[in-house]
């Protein structure tokens, strides 16, 4: 799949030995910067697929938000953050979850210090944008996780 050696090491250390079908079909197009829509049953590691694609595309020398992932719930946001953090030892990725029910000031502090990836729920991400704490100038990847769920819950606006 042409993945960076450190990403490949992280994937293997995370426990993957053979890619799932969704990963076989999705990782390469993501790494090429193509628009991708993934649909598969639960527990097929769709999350890992887009995480690997994001991590492959980051410029780790630029500590600015280069990828934004929106998810409908705090739980899913934290799961996505955990997948990316699991690979931190090999890549040095800085990822932060922006979710409601946590300190706004802490989010602002972390974002101002610099992160590569922001994973968040729409409300908190919108709040960080409104407060100009989240800079979108360097974003080159956007993931809308569980888009059907987001639209059905009234997040459309």
Domain edges within the chain: 5-152
* 5-152 CATH: 3.40.50.300
pTM for the model stands at 0.90
Question: Which residues lie closer than 8 Å to 28 by C-beta, 6 or more apart?
Answer: 1, 2
109-123 pLDDT, tens per residue?
A: 999 999 999 999 999
Distance separating alpha carbons of residues 80 and 25, to the nearest angstrom? 20
Distance separating alpha carbons of residues 123 and 126, to the nearest angstrom? 5
Laid out side by side, the sheet with 95-98 consists of: 95-98, 117-120, 67-70, 141-144
35-70 pLDDT, tens per residue?
A: 888 887 777 678 888 998 999 999 999 999 999 999
């Amino acid at each position: 799949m042409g993945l960076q050696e450190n990403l490949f090491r992280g994937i293997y250390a995370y426990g993957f030995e053979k890619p799932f079908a969704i990963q076989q079909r999705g990782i390469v197009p993501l790494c090429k910067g193509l628009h991708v829509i993934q649909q598969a049953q639960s527990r097929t590691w769709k999350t890992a697929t887009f995480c690997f694609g994001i991590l492959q595309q980051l410029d780790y020398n630029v500590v600015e938000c280069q990828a934004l992932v929106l998810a409908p719930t705090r739980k899913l946001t934290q799961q996505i953050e955990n997948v990316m953090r699991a690979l931190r030892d090999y890549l040095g990725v800085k990822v932060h979850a922006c979710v409601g029910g946590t300190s706004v000031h802490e989010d602002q502090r972390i974002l101002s210090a610099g992160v590569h990836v922001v994973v968040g729920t729409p409300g908190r991400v919108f709040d960080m944008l409104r407060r100009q704490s989240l800079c979108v100038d360097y974003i080159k990847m956007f993931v809308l996780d569980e888009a059907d769920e987001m639209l059905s819950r009234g997040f459309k606006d």
